[in-house]
Amino acid sequence: MKKLINDPKNVVIEAVAGFEAAHGDIVRVSHDPIFIARSDAPVHGKVGIVSGGGSGHEPLHGGFVGYGMLDAAVPGAVFTSPTPDPILAATQVVDGGAGVLHLVKNYTGDVLNFETAADLASAEGIEVRAVIINDDVAVKDSLYTAGRRGVAGTVLVEKITGAAAERGDDLAAVVAVAEKVNSRVRTMGVALTPCVVPHAGEPSFVLADDEIEIGIGIHGEPGRERIKLEPADAIVDRLLAPILDDLPFVAGDAVLLFVNGMGGTPQVELYIVFRRAAEVLAEKGITVTRSLVGNYTTSLEMAGTSISVLKLDEELTSLWDAPVQTAALRWGR
Amino acid sequence: MKKLINDPKNVVIEAVAGFEAAHGDIVRVSHDPIFIARSDAPVHGKVGIVSGGGSGHEPLHGGFVGYGMLDAAVPGAVFTSPTPDPILAATQVVDGGAGVLHLVKNYTGDVLNFETAADLASAEGIEVRAVIINDDVAVKDSLYTAGRRGVAGTVLVEKITGAAAERGDDLAAVVAVAEKVNSRVRTMGVALTPCVVPHAGEPSFVLADDEIEIGIGIHGEPGRERIKLEPADAIVDRLLAPILDDLPFVAGDAVLLFVNGMGGTPQVELYIVFRRAAEVLAEKGITVTRSLVGNYTTSLEMAGTSISVLKLDEELTSLWDAPVQTAALRWGR
Amino acid sequence: LTLDAAWTVGWIRRSAEVLAAERAALNTLDRDIGDGDHGENMDRGFQAVLSKLNDLVDESTPGAVLKLVATTLISTVGGAAGPLYGTAFLKAAGAVGSARCLDAAALVALLTAARDGIVLRGKAEEGDKTMIDAWTPAVNAAAAAQAAGSAVDEVLLIAADAAASGAQATEPLIARKGRASYLGERAIGHRDPGAQSTSLLLRAAADVGRA
Amino acid sequence: LTLDAAWTVGWIRRSAEVLAAERAALNTLDRDIGDGDHGENMDRGFQAVLSKLNDLVDESTPGAVLKLVATTLISTVGGAAGPLYGTAFLKAAGAVGSARCLDAAALVALLTAARDGIVLRGKAEEGDKTMIDAWTPAVNAAAAAQAAGSAVDEVLLIAADAAASGAQATEPLIARKGRASYLGERAIGHRDPGAQSTSLLLRAAADVGRA
Ligand SMILES: Nc1ncnc2c1ncn2[C@@H]1O[C@H](COP(=O)(O)OP(=O)(O)O)[C@@H](O)[C@H]1O
Ligand SMILES: Nc1ncnc2c1ncn2[C@@H]1O[C@H](COP(=O)(O)OP(=O)(O)O)[C@@H](O)[C@H]1O
Ligand SMILES: [Mg+2]
Ligand SMILES: [Mg+2]
Ligand SMILES: [Mg+2]
Ligand SMILES: [Mg+2]
């Protein structure tokens, strides 16, 4: 394992310190407990939006703190959800009097820790609501399981929900937007190589030189099936089919197509994936009206990609286009 | 070698097609010969800026085409400079009557092919000037060698020069700005793992499990020395010392600190690097007033980083801050 | 054997020792069917507990120790295990109240409350391939032994044995909760890391009890 | 042996064959001290030349063939080798003018012009560890042989031999031009890929000459 780190125990602390040094114009950082907040938090009268989760998925979530997106992000240890303390502290700091929304990826640890923090915040008189993000079609959904995972679609939920809060929606309305985005976005990923968690020092799983993992999770959790490497176009077809069937997406839909890099995949490959995905959608009469390509929800240095498709309407499109100013996503200002 | 590609021969063609599909609002693409131009090119009365080079360094250069930065980018085969034909065609397309500047990284192939294209364009009555970028302190400079390589500092040259052209500077003034940035930026990189060129199918070099290459080039060219893996802070110190000695940077300087990812390095690691670099600069009385962190000049999936330091003044700072709207760098609009 | 505050502290110290020793093994179990951090999470939490234990005042009670463990785990472990074990110790503390010494009945109440706390938060049932599959057999066996008149040290031993069998019995299961539930049939053949850490904790209790 | 247009076409076809066969080997040489694409670049260029050769009219001259090679290489090879070999063939075409057939003196003029073109563009001197280290010995040996009255086939053979020795002689050198110059002492012990491809091209010329 070769990594540009010092003591593995200090990875998150030092990375957050670097983030603060680089982006002091956009964020301020609390070091104990650790969280990243908008430099102008709390914004009076605005619903505060807090997200968070294990580290190792950067720029998710810290890279999305700022005007028009998140008010705070709470990074846990690598691939481990944060504890309630920093979530509570972040919730207090961003509360501008209009309540706080927790955007939580659907993992037992994240759900439980955010739940505890929300209980504590409520006890202090802060109105807190949570929306659970579960866009991953690789996992069968069922009342009897932990349900689907929250993966790259989270970025879209955070951007669009953040825009709704920024325009002044009240807490119920912001919750409704978040639920709407989550209900209309579907994602599926593939891994070509595993990642190595710093403190573990060993790959999270092992793939042969000619194997790929279809339906991989963002923590290196095994996916749907392990198959032999195929041409990019064939892989894209495998990822896209269950996504399109699931909602389902149909001819006439306008969509945002998001090709996400898992961290170790070169940009040329992401664009090759985008090309094929756009082609398939066009064949089905689905129009790509917005797009996003890049490393936005990563799994450390894992090579691979995920494809997310979000069904747009006028409201979601204009919220997507609204100005945003964060370290990792910025336009309009 | 596992890659999300189809036929290795089609990597650049397909990636550019995907880029066009994703960023049609910012660029338009010529497929034969291949180049990427601003959607509103030529901008009448504005100096046109063209850059290019081998593919595999994305987002460099195509990701920097758009308002306030490049007018066109010409991608060659992976790690191979483009031929004169597409450079000439791009030069013709972006010529708005005020002349065209070629920004060329200092590699024999790039210099020669851009030279030929410039000769052909001049023969057609287009005024063309070239600025050669050579920011890499890893290589000893000498009249008797090919000189220093152009590496990640290129991004800073392209952004700031693009802003000068956008504000209406004439060709001589734009050239002066490009030369000024190039003269004030220094870079040095390190590789932890090699990269694999698609058509080669084999790593560009081999590093043992505990070895790193200090002073690596962006095509996997071997660097200054091969050493045992060290903590991130020690590596940063090794990279920064020759950078600071070279200009030299001194107490009281205001600088832009740019930590670039080589493609396969997780963002947490880049911020750990940034943290230490900022700390060392602060100790020396050098103030970081602007910063950039991310994968901007990559070498496919290589793990590693480079640090660039640019000495700012009022003019360069305001040109850096000026609005830019490209696929990979965007602010102010 | 007296289950007083000193015993409780001894149990927790021994647990911290064992979890540190088994850290890598728990990570490996979690890597197979989860995300590979369970050993890391537990070790981080119990090391934090260790440094907190020194702050305890002398005349402390088992309940006070358990409460300190609970709040420390909640604020340092994270992941799924943090809130689940945290709740377990919190409910256990509640169940023993301010008693200075626990008899067999109190011990069974402690274990039952811990298990119920986990079910309350995590909503897992037996057979879902979670830590509950170690807790519930332990609680049942302890309750039966106590009803049959066993002494506390025997109850502890019986609970630890039942937890160990329970952990082992997770191996052939398909998971319905936690990360392993994403795996479907591919979870078969792997032991649940949380069930294993539960087994280690209860074994530590029995071992300290015997010492 | 007559060095007419047909011979020139034969030389180029043979070169394309050899470069395709040696593609991986040239890549490997370039990987050691450059960026690993020299075989790829040369093969791409000469395959493009092959498909252009069919467009040639029957009554073509050596100069016309060389000019076609030049423009095709310039527009398909890229990298350093593209403009350098492109210029070489362009200048060679200029040197032989519209002659239908080349004698030994014309052959030497061709080789000299090619070499001078590369120097003009690349500014390398002998000993800089570039393709010039194959070209210059070849030019010198050819000129000497022609001055001594050798026939064209002998001149070709002598030039090819000299290029081969020249390529081999790059191995102990430190590079002062091209990517290998970044390596300093670490370039020692590796053959320059461009010198090697030059040697292959001139060997192809001699082989076709003999056939
Ligand atoms: N809903 C649940 N109920 C009970 N135990 C659970 C539940 N979800 C997960 N667990 C337990 O938590 C363990 C995993 O803990 P850990 O690896 O620390 O957290 P994470 O899954 O967040 O990485 C599992 O092995 C399982 O025993
Ligand atoms: N200035 C120069 N003069 C002559 N030959 C050169 C010069 N620079 C490079 N070369 C030749 O070009 C060869 C490399 O070609 P190639 O690998 O195709 O291009 P690149 O270096 O752009 O990848 C070197 O081996 C060397 O022989
Ligand atoms: Mg975890
Ligand atoms: Mg090259
Ligand atoms: Mg885990
Ligand atoms: Mg090369």
ipTM comes to 0.93
Helical H segments across A133-266, by residue range: 153-166, 171-184, 232-246
The tens-digit pLDDT sequence of chain C (211 residues) is 889 999 999 999 999 999 999 999 999 999 899 888 899 999 999 999 999 998 888 789 999 999 999 999 999 999 999 999 999 999 999 999 999 999 999 999 999 999 999 999 999 999 999 999 999 999 999 999 999 999 999 999 999 999 999 999 999 999 999 989 888 888 999 999 999 999 999 999 999 967 5
Chain B residue numbers with beta carbons less than 8 Å from the beta carbon of A271 are 14-19, 22, 58
Give partners of A (≥3 CB pairs < 8 A). Answer: B, C
Kindly report the protein residue whose alpha carbon is nearest to atom 21 of ligand 2: D80
Task: Tell whether D19 lies on the interface with B, counting CB pairs under 8 A.
Answer: no
Among B114-118, B238-242, C57-61, D36-40, the range scoring the smallest mean pLDDT is C57-61
Contact D182 B221 (CB under 8 A): yes
Catalytic residue among B23, B61, B102, B219: B219
B299-316 pLDDT per residue, tens: 999 999 999 999 999 999
Task: Report domain extents, chain A.
Answer: 8-184, 185-319
- Closest ligand 1 atom to the C-alpha of C118? 4
Q: What is the pLDDT of residue D27?
A: 93
Phi, psi of B25 (to 5 degrees): -75, -20
- Which of residues B29 and A146 earns the better pLDDT score? B29
A148-192 pLDDT per residue, tens: 999 999 999 999 999 999 999 999 999 999 999 999 999 999 999
Average pLDDT score, chain A? 96
Measured from CB, residues less than 6 Å from any atom of ligand 1 are A 80-81, 108-109; C 30, 34-35, 37-38, 41, 79-81, 84, 118, 122-124, 130-132, 177-179, 192-195
Q: What is the pLDDT of residue C211?
A: 56
Query: Which CATH number is A185-319 given?
Result: 3.30.1180.20
Give partners of D (≥3 CB pairs < 8 A). Answer: B
Q: What is the pLDDT of residue C59?
A: 81
Please tell me the distance from the alpha carbon of residue B276 to that of residue B260, in angstroms, as a whole number: 14
Average pLDDT score, chain D? 95
- pLDDT confidence bin for D57, thresholds 50/70/90: confident
Q: What is the pLDDT of residue A293?
A: 98
Rounded to 10 degrees, what is the CA torsion of C118, C119, C120, C123?
120
Residues 6+ away with beta carbon under 8 Å from A186 = A135, A137, A153, A243, A246, A247, A249, A308, A309
Q: What is the pLDDT of residue A141?
A: 67
Tell the residue number behind the tokens 């920011």, with chain if given: B135
B126-168 pLDDT per residue, tens: 999 999 999 999 987 666 677 899 999 999 999 999 999 999 9
**Catalytic residue status for B199:** no
Phi, psi of D60 (to 5 degrees): -70, 165
The C-alpha angle with vertex C42 and arms to A303 and C64, in degrees rounded to 5, equals 150
CATH number of the domain within which D75 lies? 1.25.40.340
- For residue A170, CA distances in Å to A38, A48, A68, A228 come to 19, 10, 15, 49
Ligand that comes closest to the CA of residue D41: 2
Of D36, D76, D80, the CB nearest to B109: D80
**Catalytic residue status for A199:** no
C31, C35, C44, C131, best to mutate vs chain A, most A CBs in 10 Å: C35
Of A15, A209, A293, the CB nearest to B22: A293
Instruction: Decide: D111 and D96 in contact? Cβ < 8 Å.
Output: no
Q: What is the pLDDT of residue B144?
A: 64
Query: Which CATH number is B9-184+320-331 given?
Result: 3.40.50.10440
B58-89 pLDDT per residue, tens: 999 999 999 999 999 999 999 999 999 999 99
Instruction: Decide: C11 and C19 in contact? Cβ < 8 Å.
Output: no
Burial group, residue C189, by CB count within 10 angstroms (0-12, 13-18, 19+): exposed
Among A168-172, A204-208, A230-234, B210-214, the range scoring the smallest mean pLDDT is A204-208
Instruction: Decide: A123 and C118 in contact? Cβ < 8 Å.
Output: no
Alpha carbon B281 to its chain centroid, in Å, reads 23
Measured between CA atoms, how close is A27 to chain C, in angstroms? 24
Query: How many domains does chain C contain in total?
Result: 1
Range of the domain at D46: 5-210
- pLDDT confidence bin for B199, thresholds 50/70/90: confident
Q: Between 3.30.1180.20, 3.30.429.10, 2.40.40.20, 3.90.110.10, what CATH number should domain B185-313 receive?
A: 3.30.1180.20
D97-122 pLDDT per residue, tens: 999 999 999 999 999 999 999 999 99
- Taking the centre of ligand 5 as the mean of its atom positions, its distance from the CA of residue C76, in whole angstroms, is 14
Please tell me the distance from the alpha carbon of residue C208 to that of residue C15, in angstroms, as a whole number: 9
Catalytic residue among B23, B31, B57, B199: B57
Q: Between 3.40.50.10440, 3.40.605.10, 2.40.50.140, 3.40.50.300, what CATH number should domain A8-184 receive?
A: 3.40.50.10440
Contacts 24+ apart (CB under 8 A), D16-24: D16/D46, D16/D47, D16/D49, D16/D50, D17/D204, D18/D200, D18/D201, D18/D203, D18/D204, D19/D43, D19/D46, D19/D197, D19/D200, D19/D201, D20/D46, D20/D47, D22/D196, D22/D197, D22/D200
Q: What is the pLDDT of residue D44?
A: 95
Tell the residue number behind the tokens 């957050």, with chain if given: A16
How many percent of chain D have pLDDT more than 90? 87
Phi, psi of A87 (to 5 degrees): -65, -45
Measured between CA atoms, how close is A78 to chain B, in angstroms? 10
Instruction: Decide: A121 and A128 in contact? Cβ < 8 Å.
Output: yes
The closest of A188, A196, A219 to A305, measured between CA atoms, is A188
- pLDDT confidence bin for B200, thresholds 50/70/90: confident
- Which of residues A144 and C92 earns the better pLDDT score? C92
Q: What is the pLDDT of residue C118?
A: 97
Residues 6+ away with beta carbon under 8 Å from A142 = none
Q: What is the pLDDT of residue A142?
A: 64
For B61, the 3-state DSSP assignment is: coil
Residue B245 has pLDDT above 70, yes or no: yes
Give the D window 98-157 contacts with B, CB below 8 Å: 121-122
- pLDDT confidence bin for D35, thresholds 50/70/90: confident
Alpha carbon A141 to its chain centroid, in Å, reads 19
Contact C182 A146 (CB under 8 A): yes
Contact A298 B266 (CB under 8 A): yes
As given in the structure block, the two tokens for residue A332 are 């309009």
Q: What is the average pLDDT across A185-210?
A: 91
Q: Is D132 in the pocket of ligand 2 (CB under 6 A)?
A: yes
Measured between CA atoms, how close is B149 to chain D, in angstroms? 8
